Structure 1
Amino acid sequence: MACAVLLDNNAKPKSMSRAKQWTGEVENLYRFQQAGYRDELEYRQIKQAEIDRWPDTGFVKKLQRRDNTFYYYNRKRECEDREVHKVKVYAY
């Protein structure tokens, strides 16, 4: 993701693909999408809040949904292999 995209608050994705295998990035995208967001960029645009992360893994720890309830995530992997193909990876 380019730095210019991070500064542009109205950035829209140009394309979307599905994840093929699990990575740390796919894990975080899975967590954002479970909470109802496209990715970290959309979460920051809407909530304008800091994202809590686990210090040892870097995975997202807590997200606030659009209805203001919270999702709490474990340190370990939550996106199982059977769920990986459902994760959308957006390109800007």
Structure 2
Amino acid sequence: MASSDMKPKSIIRAKKWSEEIENLYRFQQAGYRDEIEYKQVKQVSVVDRWPETGYVKKLQRRDNTFYYYNKQRECEDKEVHKVKIYAY
């Protein structure tokens, strides 16, 4: 199966915050399921990240505007349940 046509098999909702959830939150705010979909749509191999935390730093939305994120955690506890975790 080519990575260009990966579709998620299932979705679960996040229950508690983690670094993985933080990054998923950022991709989903920008309008993507996750890093896999972002790389497919934008045809990029590397995502801009903060070297200190590894969190996503900048994402280009589908309308080509940019989202910029802080070094620190942005996904608050009350937002965690909105994050979807896709299984492939």
Alignment TM-score, normalising by the size of structure 1: 0.91
The equivalent of 1:48 in structure 2 is 43
What's 2:86 paired with? 90
CA distance in 2, matches of 1:10, 1:90: 14
1:57 to 45, 53, 63: 53
| Displaced runs of 4 or more, over 3 A | none
What percent identity do the matched residue pairs reach?
A: 72
Backbone CA RMSD of aligned residues = 1.1
Counterpart check, 1:80 vs 2:76: yes
Pairwise CA distance, 1:9: 1.2
- 1:24-60 CA distance string (max 9 Å, x none): 0000000000000000000000001231000010000
Consecutive unaligned residues of structure 2, counting only runs of 5 or more, are none
Equivalent residue number for residue 13 of structure 2: 18
1:26 partner SS: helix
The two structures have a TM-score, normalised by structure 2, of 0.95
